[in-house]
Amino acid sequence: MQEHPFNRSIIGRVTGILIALLTAAVLWGLLQLYTPLNVRVAAADSLLYTGLLAAGGYYGWYFLQQVRVWQARAGAFVVMQLACIGITGAALLLTGWEDAHTYLTALPLRVVPGILCWGLLFQWYDSLSVADETGDFSEMECPEQREYIDRISVKEGARIHLIRTDELIAIQAGGDYVTLITATGQHVKEQTMKHFERHLPASVFVRIHRSSIVNVNHILRVEQFGKDAYQVRLKNGITLRASATGYRLLRERLGL
């Protein structure tokens, strides 16, 4: 699964927090203008609703990675929006901070920003997914230009692990780091995917996705689960996504 865009860097995290706070400030201003709520109640209302929106928007990334059918996405979108409205309303009504009439009157002030924010956010998520899945893997197609490595050193505390390349099952990207998956465990190394795609044996390792390189000897099967979307299931039970480009490269390496 692709790494969440807000987790890829500190700038991404700070940007996400700032967007959430700006949305809360806008909603607070609208509640002040169009409802009789006092400053404190309007602030609690806007912060609670925006917090739920932000949580739904954050975890929506993982949902969109797994679900490609637009009807299912639309249904989930509606359910999440109703959940945010219902939880906020229940909390404010139970505490007595708002009455039902005031809350229902201000409902459009919550729904419209929520739809706009999620709509823009999910479109951005989709554009990132497409960019990641259709990235250029041309370097994987030029094995004659590579200098291969036969082992990888990983420093963990006071220990240094030496991992032979034939022990590698897969590599997954995680920001500025990669996770090396072996039969005995996982090791994190500060290195780029580009380094490994250049220096691992091309006959054995295939970059099936922007964020995944797999050892073909450990593949159990490949499954299609949507248009131009594939899953590579490994013998150890791990499932990795493969882009259309990665699937094509995999077929070429396997001679299919």
Six-digit token string for 91: 């909390």
Residue 159 shares a structural domain with residue 194: yes
Q: Are residues 157 and 73 in the same domain?
A: no
- The answer on 147 and 214 residing in a single domain is yes
- Choose among 249, 247, 256, 241: nearest CA to 141: 249
Residue 101: which domain range?
5-133
Residue that finishes a domain, picked among 96, 114, 133? 133
Residues 193 and 229 in one domain: yes
* pLDDT of 141 higher than 50: no
Q: Do 91 and 165 lie in a common domain?
A: no
Of 85, 113, 133, which residue is a domain's last?
Answer: 133
Q: What is the pLDDT of residue 68?
A: 64
List phi, psi (to 5°) of 157.
65, -125
Domain count, the chain: 2
The reply to whether the predicted model has a pTM over 0.75 is no
Clarify whether residues 127 and 158 are in a common domain: no
In a shared domain, residues 92 and 144: no
Question: Which residues, at least 6 apart from 122, have a Cβ–Cβ distance to it below 8 Å?
Answer: 57, 60, 64, 73, 77
Judged by phi (left if over 0) then psi (alpha if -120 to 50, else beta), residue 160 lies in beta
133, 161, 196 - which closes a domain:
133
Please, is 170 exposed, middle or buried when counting C-beta atoms within 10 Å of its C-beta (0-12, 13-18, 19+)?
buried
pLDDT average, residue stretch 13-41? 88
**For residue 103, which amino acid is it?**
Y
How many secondary structure helices (H) and strands (E) does the chain include? 7, 10
122 & 213 share domain: no
Q: Which residue has the tokens 């190394």?
A: 189
Residues 25 and 119 in one domain: yes
Residues 125 and 142 both lie in one domain: no
Q: pLDDT tens-digit profile of 171-203?
A: 998 777 899 999 988 999 988 888 888 889 888
Question: Which CATH number do you get for residue 178?
Answer: 2.40.50.1020
> Whose CA is closest to 80, among 122, 127, 41, 21?
122
Give residue 124's pLDDT band: very low, low, confident or very high (50, 70, 90): confident
> 50 and 156: one domain?
no
* Pick from 173, 165, 174, 177: nearest CA to 216: 165
Clarify whether residues 183 and 166 are in a common domain. Answer: yes
Give the pLDDT confidence score for residue 13 in this predicted structure.
81
Dist. CA 148–CA 156, nearest whole Å:
24
Q: How many C-beta neighbours within 10 Å does residue 111 have?
A: 14
Question: Which residue do the tokens 């999910």 mark?
Answer: 122
Tokens of 140: 């994987």
